[in-house]
């Protein structure tokens, strides 16, 4: 008789799963994950109640057993708590699921641990977020020579829309030349292309531009924004960082050589750790050195952690577009980045010179440690002390030691971390991190990279938040296209030039910036998310200055690379400098004719003529510049002496032959004036000659106007 009784007891005590109740995975887990676990899980669960495991539920919280009170608190509207003063009542169905679950005795599948990061809810992204899923190469629907058009046209066709007609050949070549080299085409090049705008002629132009040394100069500028590049430390002394320009030149060369992406990543993060390390690869680690550095931090210990944040932030923003640094003080609020992950990654840099060292080293290693007299990075020890997680990010509250590791958001990509070999000088962690980022299976890196290429050709990314692919960022307008491009990029060995080529050869790229149904389409899609026309773009600060020099015929193009020139800065602008009495010695006039890329970047004294046109402030990575239209820009182009110098040089150039008006137009705008324009110009010349008492000055006045036109400043 004992046996049946035991059986009965066993039945009563059996895990409640055997009892009827709602399907845990389908009905209960989603509610708990979405509504409760934000607070009731983790190391320090709210009210001491951990709802991520059966044991936590059974244990209850500070206010006693949980099961009974869950339904009570939810129906009373106490839970979830108010947000910004507003109640957050659960939908009825969810309340009913919980009620049924509690009534059934809160059955919980054996061994099941709910993980807040396991899935995306309406409040946060989980590991199932689109950007963390493996890249899959979608099939390309037939009918288009260029796969890009297959994807773009599919979306337009869905809407019953047609793309804009092809751009005027002159507009197209100008767009292409600026995109690939940051420079304007000459009037002769435009004439030739206008005379023969055949696909073959266009392809020839594309290939010529892609192999130009100026291509690297242009694309280096985009990357230097992301790398928060400047040549000084910032802060009180704002010291010059010797050799910073060599990193800039490394970037230019990398783009010109189309360095494979894996190599691009590995050299910048771990050029000192590569088996084939060389002066070139160590120069690339300048990426880790070009950020700000404060030689007199208030609290040196705290500043050590600020430097870690800069390194983690720059690395993860540049290569992964995930805001990992948000997890320095707490688990990420919106993405599956636990606080522990932040420290796992930070450990990659922990063995480097992050702690305050001698001021003259400017936050870097010694020449001896580095092996070269460069601005570079290396570990100062292969066996650093453990890095501890800081509770609430506070250095005064160190927690458990966190060994180096990679982000947990892509479990498919987990890699074992190999300890350094005996006798190694470095930890090998940065190389492991670089390998992980550059792994063909990394879901983020390739997407982020091709998105940047797209952004700079099309005026906006397929993901319009190029520095944030997480939950608070934007979703791709064309997810399949993004994946196809990423897959293509990986398949061709991480080379960018084939992708540039593919993009600029697409019909989507070659269309006009004005659509016959402009008003109708714009009313629905003002942001041009469907790419129904080309985006009109204002020249950025550097392209604008280069274009002014090109128009005046004074641009010094042949000299690629080398130490920066010190730009002319007006005495008025120097007044904002604390070392006003100190010497600001601009380079000789000849040097001022170099491309803007080569202007010395001093954090405490950025040239106002560049910042007014939205050049970045260099303290944080900048993936997308603002484009503002403000009156001080007009003042700069109307009155700045540099612009007048170019106007006068342009006038001298135009006046040196027949038909100065035509010559001025061709130099500035790359085309002949139209009759109405010529008439207006002739009137202007006549009137200004009278006013200014000089035909030369009148011609300079005309040239000055041309350099101020929208046509000069915008790309169609």
Cβ–Cβ < 8 Å for 150, 488: no
List Cα–Cα distances, 353 to 303, 358, 359, 382, 470, in angstroms: 12, 10, 12, 12, 30
Q: What is the DSSP string of 244-280?
A: HHHHHHHHHHHHHTT--HHHHHHHHHHTTTSTT--HH
Planar angle of CA 430, 431, 435, nearest 5 degrees: 115
Cβ–Cβ < 8 Å for 650, 659: no
Q: How far is the CB of 147 from another protein (least distance, A)?
A: 25
Q: How far is the CB of 238 from another protein (least distance, A)?
A: 7
Q: How far is the CB of 216 from another protein (least distance, A)?
A: 27
CA 295 remoteness from chain centre:
28
Q: Which is nearer to another protein, 453 or 705 (CB)?
A: 705
Beta-carbon count within 10 A of 199 CB: 10
Closest CA to 255 of 212, 216, 284: 216
List Cα–Cα distances, 266 to 273, 275, 361, 437, in angstroms: 9, 11, 24, 9
Closest CA to 496 of 213, 201, 219: 219
Q: Which is nearer to another protein, 161 or 235 (CB)?
A: 235
* Three state DSSP letters for 678-712: HHHHHHHHHHHHHHHCCHHHHHHHHHHHHHHCHHH
Q: Which is nearer to another protein, 428 or 461 (CB)?
A: 461
- The alpha carbon torsion through 652, 653, 659, 662 (nearest 10 deg) reads -120
For tokens 């879901």, name the residue: 443
Q: How far is the CB of 684 from another protein (least distance, A)?
A: 5
Query: What are the residues whose beta carbons fall under 8 Å from the beta carbon of 265, sequence distance 6 or more?
Result: 319, 434, 437, 438, 445
Q: How far is the CB of 62 from another protein (least distance, A)?
A: 14
Q: How far is the CB of 14 from another protein (least distance, A)?
A: 38
Q: Which is nearer to another protein, 522 or 557 (CB)?
A: 522
Say if residue 590 is exposed, middle or buried (CB neighbours under 10 Å; 0-12, 13-18, 19+). exposed
Q: How far is the CB of 594 from another protein (least distance, A)?
A: 22
Q: How far is the CB of 688 from another protein (least distance, A)?
A: 6
Q: How far is the CB of 687 from another protein (least distance, A)?
A: 6
Cβ–Cβ < 8 Å for 561, 249: yes
Round to whole Å and give the CA distance between 386 and 409: 23
Q: How far is the CB of 633 from another protein (least distance, A)?
A: 7
First-to-final CA distance of the chain: 92
List Cα–Cα distances, 306 to 350, 363, 398, in angstroms: 12, 12, 15
Q: Which is nearer to another protein, 85 or 558 (CB)?
A: 85
Q: Which is nearer to another protein, 109 or 632 (CB)?
A: 632
Three-state secondary-structure class, residue 599: strand
Q: Which is nearer to another protein, 16 or 695 (CB)?
A: 695
Query: What are the residues whose beta carbons fall under 8 Å from the beta carbon of 653, sequence distance 6 or more?
Result: 552, 553, 663, 667
Q: Which is nearer to another protein, 208 or 475 (CB)?
A: 475
Q: Which is nearer to another protein, 101 or 229 (CB)?
A: 229
Q: Which is nearer to another protein, 105 or 608 (CB)?
A: 608
Number of residues that make up the chain: 716
Three-state secondary-structure class, residue 139: coil
Q: How far is the CB of 328 from another protein (least distance, A)?
A: 11
DSSP state of 556: B
Q: How far is the CB of 617 from another protein (least distance, A)?
A: 6
Q: How far is the CB of 364 from another protein (least distance, A)?
A: 19
Q: How far is the CB of 312 from another protein (least distance, A)?
A: 13
Cβ–Cβ < 8 Å for 123, 37: no
- The alpha carbon torsion through 110, 46, 66, 101 (nearest 10 deg) reads -50
Q: What is the DSSP string of 338-399?
A: -HHHHHHHHHHHHTSTTS---GGGTTS--HHHHSSSSS----S-SSPPPEEEEGGG-TTSEE
Closest CA to 193 of 217, 175, 210: 175
Query: What are the residues whose beta carbons fall under 8 Å from the beta carbon of 432, sequence distance 6 or more?
Result: 348, 404, 406, 415, 417, 418
Q: Which is nearer to another protein, 391 or 554 (CB)?
A: 391
Q: How far is the CB of 288 from another protein (least distance, A)?
A: 17
């Amino acid at each position: 008789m004992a046996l049946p009784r035991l059986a009965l007891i066993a039945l009563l005590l059996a895990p409640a799963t055997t009892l009827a109740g709602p399907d845990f995975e389908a009905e209960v887990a989603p509610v708990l994950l979405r509504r409760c676990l934000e607070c009731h899980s983790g190391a320090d669960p709210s009210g001491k109640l951990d709802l991520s495991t059966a044991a936590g539920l059974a244990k209850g919280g500070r206010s006693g057993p949980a099961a009974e009170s869950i339904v009570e608190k939810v129906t009373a509207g106490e839970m979830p708590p108010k947000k910004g003063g507003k109640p957050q009542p659960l939908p009825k169905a969810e309340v009913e699921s919980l009620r049924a679950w509690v009534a059934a005795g809160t059955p919980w599948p054996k061994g099941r641990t709910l993980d807040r990061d396991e899935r995306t809810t309406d409040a946060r992204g989980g590991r199932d977020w689109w950007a963390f899923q493996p890249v899959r190469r979608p099939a390309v629907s037939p009918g288009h020579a260029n796969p890009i058009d297959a994807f773009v046209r599919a979306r337009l066709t869905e809407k019953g829309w047609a793309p804009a007609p092809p751009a005027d050949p002159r507009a197209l070549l100008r767009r292409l030349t600026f995109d690939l080299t940051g420079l304007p085409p000459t009037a002769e090049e435009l004439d030739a292309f206008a005379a023969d705008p055949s696909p073959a002629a266009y392809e020839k132009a594309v290939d010529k531009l892609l192999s130009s040394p100026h291509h690297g100069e242009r694309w280096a500028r985009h990357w230097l924004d992301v790398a928060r590049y400047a040549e000084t430390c910032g802060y009180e002394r704002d010291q010059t960082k010797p050799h910073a320009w060599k990193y800039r030149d490394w970037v230019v060369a990398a783009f010109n050589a189309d360095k494979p992406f894996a190599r691009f990543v590995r050299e910048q993060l771990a050029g000192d750790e590569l088996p084939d390390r060389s002066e070139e690869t160590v120069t690339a680690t300048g990426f880790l050195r070009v950020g700000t550095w404060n030689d007199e931090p208030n609290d040196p210990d705290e500043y050590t952690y600020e430097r870690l944040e800069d390194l983690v932030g720059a690395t993860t923003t540049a290569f992964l577009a995930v805001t990992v640094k948000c997890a320095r003080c707490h688990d990420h609020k919106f993405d599956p980045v636990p606080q522990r992950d932040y420290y796992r990654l930070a450990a990659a840099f922990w063995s480097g010179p992050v702690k305050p060292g001698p001021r003259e080293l400017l936050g870097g290693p010694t020449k001896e440690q580095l092996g070269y007299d460069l601005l570079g990075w290396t570990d100062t020890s292969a066996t650093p002390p453990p890095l501890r997680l800081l509770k609430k990010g506070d250095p005064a509250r160190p927690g458990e030691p966190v060994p180096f590791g990679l982000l947990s958001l892509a479990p498919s990509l987990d890699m074992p971390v190999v300890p350094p070999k005996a006798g190694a000088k470095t930890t090998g962690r940065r190389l492991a991190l670089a390998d992980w980022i550059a792994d063909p299976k990394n879901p983020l890196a390739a997407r982020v990279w091709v998105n940047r290429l797209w952004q700079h050709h099309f005026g906006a990314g397929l993901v319009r938040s190029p520095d944030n692919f997480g939950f608070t960022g934007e979703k791709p307008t064309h997810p399949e296209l993004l994946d196809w491009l990423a897959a293509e990029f990986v398949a061709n060995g991480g080379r960018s030039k084939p992708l540039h080529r593919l993009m600029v050869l697409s019909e989507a790229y070659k269309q006009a910036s004005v659509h016959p149904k402009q008003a109708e389409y714009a009313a629905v899609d003002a942001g041009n998310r469907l790419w129904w026309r080309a985006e009109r773009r204002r020249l950025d600060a550097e392209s604008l200055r280069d274009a002014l020099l090109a128009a005046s015929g004074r641009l010094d193009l042949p000299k690629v690379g080398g130490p920066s020139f010190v730009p002319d800065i007006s005495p008025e602008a120097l007044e904002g400098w604390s070392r006003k009495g100190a010497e600001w010695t601009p380079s000789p006039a000849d040097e001022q004719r170099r491309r803007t890329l080569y202007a010395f970047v001093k954090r405490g004294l950025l040239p106002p003529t560049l910042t007014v046109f939205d050049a970045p402030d260099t303290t944080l990575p900048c993936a997308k510049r603002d484009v503002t239209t403000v009156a001080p820009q007009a003042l700069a182009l109307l009155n700045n002496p540099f612009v007048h110098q170019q106007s006068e040089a342009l006038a001298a150039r135009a006046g040196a032959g027949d038909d100065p008006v035509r010559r001025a137009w061709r130099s500035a705008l790359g085309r002949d004036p139209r009759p109405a324009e010529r008439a207006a110009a002739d009137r202007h010349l006549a009137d200004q000659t009278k006013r200014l008492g000089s035909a030369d000055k009148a011609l300079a006045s005309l040239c000055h106007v041309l350099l101020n036109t929208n046509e000069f400043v915008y790309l169609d």
